[in-house]
Amino acid sequence: MKLDFFRKIGFGLAPDENVPSDPIAWAVRQVETPAKLTWPGHIPSEQELLDHRAEFVYQDRRILREKFKNNRNAYDDAKTQLRYKTGERYFPSLETVIRHHAAVKGKAPVFERLWHFWCNHFAISEKDMLDRWNTGGYQRETIRPNLCGSFTDLVKKVTVSWTMIHHLDNTESVGPNSKWGKNRRKKGKPATVNENHARELLELHTVSPAAGYTQQDVINLAYIMAGWENRWSKKREECNPVQFNDKKHEPGTHKVMGKGYKQRGISSETKLFDVVEDLCAHPCTRRFISWKLVRHFVTDEPTDAMIAPLIKAWEETDGDLPSVYKALIKVVYEHTGSEQKFLNPETWLLQCIRISGTNWPPSPEVMAYDFKSKPSQPARQPSIIMRELGHNLLAPSQPNGWPDTEAEWLSPELLIRRLAASSKFANDPKYSVFVDYHKVAEKNFDALDDVNYFLHKAKNVDFYSNPKRMGQALFSSKWMLKV
């Protein structure tokens, strides 16, 4: 039995969990269907959150700026009230709570780890306040329900989602020979495509630069994507469902990576899905995704032998994700004990919480919000903690998401922040619980003798003599930072 496996593929075993007799079967069962979210409080829908955003942008842009154009202080006060009314400073923390509750209380930690992986693969970076209302709902309703189907279907859903369209500025694309483009050029205005979405679809989401695509491929894909937009209306600005606007689409046949794509049927919108299907079936895509999965769960430097089973499963099933996950799980188990991975801050934190039964995340009562005033400090704490750890979940700085290698996370400052978090969770009565850490070690660590010796030594240090504080010693130990 490899006990480290439960932390390498998930978040470890909680105090009330038994050690599964068949670890691989335990993990495989969790990736066949999407797990339900466990948060017992209200989970706002993606549409509900978009409605809040619509109210904010309309009121701010069309009402407040005009009403208080000569009074900056009054404008700031009114905007602050609008932020409260629309939950702008509340929802990011709620999304963190929903995510963390599933990880530490749920019965499918392997699925949750995969969800975190894909949220980062299809990252929405810190831009235009998307993290306030949209990124969380996008991760829950666009990514999560599609994690146990085909990779192709997942990419299609993500590519035309409201949040990704807005994130990568596809609404700005106007085919120069489309009806809109011709009219604009007659008026002396520019009409061109924005390449952001096309470039990231190729570089980050599917084939990767290893496929050798050219700048002309990016431009041609941008032509094909022109017309997919966040529909605008006077009362909601851009906050309406995504539509395909044929009047902005560049007509004709366009070649991407050597293949021409032309209109099928009465609409050109299928051209994009035809390209996505071919990109997802490309050998570079299955190799790129397999490599990223193994890098995330096993080691910073995957070998060809490690990724080969995933590629084989992908080829045999045309990218059926559960089949790829099952191959991944076997690779992770095989290399548990021989390969170690430095955990990112969130995974490390959630492992500390789950194995110790620490009182986290906050309850629905703590997260209650009146939409009239600033959210309470306890309700904002989930976002605050992740920012302190340097891992602001909903707002990575770049579209390629948070880094996934030790070199990016192993710095003195970030380690000190983890020590501070260890102290907070071990010593603050709001979070700390009494638990026998020797029993925690028995079901979660292969290096049991070493961990027990470490705990015995820690007990002799005055600071750690309080049983609750033993968690602080274990949380910041080398066995928790790397597995």
Secondary structure of 302-346 in the HEC alphabet? CCHHHHHHHHHHHHHHCCEHHHHHHHHHHHHHHHECCECCECCHH
Identify whether the C-beta of residue 102 lies closer than 8 Å to the C-beta of residue 62.
no
pLDDT in tens, the chain (483 residues): 899 999 999 999 999 999 999 999 999 999 999 999 999 999 999 999 999 999 999 999 999 999 999 999 999 999 999 999 999 999 999 999 999 999 999 999 999 999 999 999 999 999 999 999 999 999 999 999 999 999 999 999 999 999 999 999 999 999 999 999 999 999 999 899 999 999 999 999 999 999 999 999 999 999 999 999 999 999 999 999 999 999 999 999 999 999 999 998 888 999 999 999 999 999 999 999 999 999 999 999 999 999 999 999 999 999 999 999 999 999 999 999 999 999 999 999 999 999 999 999 999 999 999 999 999 999 999 999 999 999 999 999 999 999 999 999 999 999 999 999 998 888 888 888 888 999 999 999 999 999 999 998 888 776 677 777 788 889 999 999 999
How many Cβ atoms sit within 10 Å of the Cβ of residue 389?
Answer: 20
Strands 254-256, 242-244: parallel, antiparallel or unpaired by DSSP? unpaired
Six token digits for residue 320: 């059926």
Q: Give the whole-angstrom CA distance, residue 425 versus residue 419.
A: 10
- HSE, CB side, 13 Å, CA atoms: give it for residue 169: 15
Residue linked to tokens 């970076």: 125
Q: Give the whole-angstrom CA distance, residue 12 versus residue 413.
A: 26
Amino acid (1-letter code) at residue 29: R
How remote is the C-alpha of 148 from its chain's centroid? 16
pLDDT of residue 457: 86
Q: Give the whole-angstrom CA distance, residue 363 versus residue 349.
A: 18
pLDDT of residue 458: 84
pLDDT of residue 121: 98
pLDDT of residue 459: 80
Q: Give the whole-angstrom CA distance, residue 84 versus residue 332.
A: 45
Q: Per residue in 294-345, pLDDT tens?
A: 999 999 999 999 999 999 999 999 999 999 999 999 999 999 999 999 999 9
Identify whether the C-beta of residue 342 lies closer than 8 Å to the C-beta of residue 410.
yes
pLDDT of residue 429: 85
Identify whether the C-beta of residue 379 lies closer than 8 Å to the C-beta of residue 369.
yes
Q: Give the whole-angstrom CA distance, residue 34 versus residue 36.
A: 7
Taking CA atoms, 155 is separated from 130, 160, 205, 240, 368, in Å, by 20, 9, 8, 21, 35
pLDDT of residue 409: 97
Q: Per residue in 25-83, pLDDT tens?
A: 999 999 999 999 999 999 999 999 999 999 999 999 999 999 999 999 999 999 999 99
pLDDT of residue 463: 66
